[in-house]
Structure 1
Amino acid sequence: MAAVVADTIAAYLDHLAVERGTARNTLDSYRRDLRRYAEFLAGEGIADLAAVTPDHLARFLGELREGGPDRPALAASSAARTLVAVRGLHRFAHQEGQVPEDVSREVRPPTPPRRLPKALPVDDVVRLLENTGSEDDPRGLRDRALLEVLYSTGARISEAVGLDLDDVDAGERTVVLDGKGGKQRLVPVGRPALAALDAYLVRARPALAAKGRGTPAVFLNARGGRLSRQGAWLVVQAAAERAGIGAEVSPHTLRHSFATHLMEGGADVRVVQELLGHASVTTTQIYTLVTVTMLREVYATSHPRARG
């Protein structure tokens, strides 16, 4: 039987709403995406879904990326969502016996662009570290130590709040971090971070620990228990606000800043991979894009013939 495009789209959306319980926002997005697909097919002279070939889908994907008559190009994420809707439509039509085969099965969504991590300039990091509260307040000392450790080691927030006293070796200037998948790694710690840690452990942690039931955690909350990830996030937010940093700052921002500043300083990508605890160097190589971007900016503003 004929699979009239408009009728099949209506039946598919009805199937998603009634049988799959798809959220209204998702349905609205799919409806817009499939309307664009229907307009494309109409422009190709196709009214029956059974007449669609892989070449049609390839051209439609190209239009999503580059735009078409009266239809703008889409961001990679939006193009991927549109293709998901189109593949769902063809799969539905095939399962319902309306078309002999699912021609969209081998079509893959576009690879989204690699996003550059957001890193703070060094001056902003310094301001952040210097705005963690009064050193007369145990929590001020704790917050300074926490932020120094995050930036000095590139630790994930879960790794930082998971630190126990035995994980810190002040003599060797290292900490042991428990990473993803239960993998441990030994990471060096800078002198400023060690000094902040020492000040906290000697002058502040005992007062915080006295309010709890005893825990080996390095970083404690006001009740003497282990500081939570949410608590650490609030510490970073408060310091950023006091420092007047307009950009969005999170604990992960310090991890990105750690890696970016190492790469800009000439560190080998394999070394940064080990420090970050990445299983694959491919994950770390995104920071080389940051460095290349910086080099381009310096070149564009410094070389007398950079602009042609």
Structure 2
Amino acid sequence: MPKIRKAIFPVAGLGTRFLPATKAMPKEMLPVVDRPLIQHVVDEARGAGIEHFIFVTGRNKSVIEDHFDRQFELEVTLNERGKKNDLALLSHDLPEAGSASFTRQQSPLGLGHAVWCARELVGREPFALLLPDVLVQHDPGCLAQMIAAAGALEERANIVAVEEVPKDRVHMYGVVGVGPSKGKAFGITQMVEKPKAADAPSNLAITGRYILQPEIFDVLEKQSTGAGGEIQLTDAMLALAKSQPFYGLKFEGRSFDCGSKIGFLAANMSYALERDDLSAAMREEMQRLMGGK
């Protein structure tokens, strides 16, 4: 498979589950410890070798563009105060000049439509898709594991990250059927959106990481609206699966659904516990809080 150089980040959502916090701040900029959610996801992509970062934005999302740009006034102030470590951190987080692109999804027509909006920036090459609502805590990151698995396939294929979920929760996810293994990946025989537990082909749910072939854009261009009146990515993948193979990868690591309050709070705790400068104090605070429960 050709090298995966580009990644799409759909960041046009309204974040209504986090109102009123997201009234003036995009949900993607909510901090997980001391880094915005979107920065964690971009870090994962960069660690996987992604060279071009494509953000599909919407209204009131300009702060995301500002975050991935230089802020000269801040840099001057930090330099004058001798804050060399902070300056180095800001410099490290910036994408290289010309490696970040931003395009608008002008209508909220779903994930499939958001992906289609990036078609001209991606071109005719395979690409990664990372949903910023999902964090995966592991080194190497989820996308790096997927790219390694894609390289081992030695064929043009689509790959989705999957993880086990309790059987009584499969109705909340897109679930895959499991075919023969090929390296660390396995062939996907079915993709069923939110099945009843009795009808689910497995308990492996699609997580927010994908490697897709450019033919998905051809499908999305003709895709009719599905559930919720939106253009659904799952519908397009089902159509593409008729002519191209799809594989699943059960990745190593723990995922956090930061689109939910509990998932977001759990991510903050878990990422803090992983930090050498915070873990001991965090454990003490957690024990203090739980002591009276």
TM-score where L is the length of structure 2: 0.24
Could you say which structure has the larger radius of gyration? 1
Structure in which a larger fraction of residues adopt strand: 2
